[in-house]
Amino acid sequence: QVQLVESGGGLVQAGGSLRLSCVASGIIFSVTAMGWYRQAPGKQRELVAHITRGVTTHYADSVEGRFTISRDNTKNTVYLQMSSLKAEDTAVYYCAAGKVLSPTAVRFDYWGQGTQVTVSS
């Protein structure tokens, strides 16, 4: 059974930083693509960033240069370091695990329960 457990969310002032963590179990983590999505109230879930098993990364334009995704295969953990946070980054952040379909496409099959990030302006 695949489990993804996120942690690290919370309340932070604009301009501040947070680091999200996601521990995975039930998968061969080292060969699995991992990602972070977010969903703000009234909006669709959107991709924030993903990282392949080869540590190739992709970011949404809205977070490029401010967020960094990384992974530690020895701990089955993926991280999202968020800096220069803005009020519009407020959302529930979800960890996801999946498979690389092509150099530009990843299919995510498993999801965590989400962690709330609130940025006060």
Q: Cβ of 17: how many Cβ atoms within 10 Å?
A: 11
Lowest mean pLDDT among 18-22, 49-53, 86-90: 49-53
- The amino acid present at 44, given as its one-letter code, is Q
User: What pLDDT digit, counting tens, does each position of 28-56 carry?
Assistant: 888 899 999 999 999 999 999 999 987 78
> What digits encode the pLDDT tens for the residues 1-13?
999 999 999 999 9
pLDDT of residue 96: 97
Query: What would the DSSP string read from start to end of 24-90?
Result: EESS-GGGSEEEEEEE-TTS--EEEEEE-TT--EEE-TTTTTTEEEEEETTTTEEEEEE-S--GGG-
Given a cut of 90, is residue 66 above it in pLDDT?
Answer: yes
CB-neighbour burial class of residue 35 (10 A; exposed 0-12, middle 13-18, buried 19+): buried
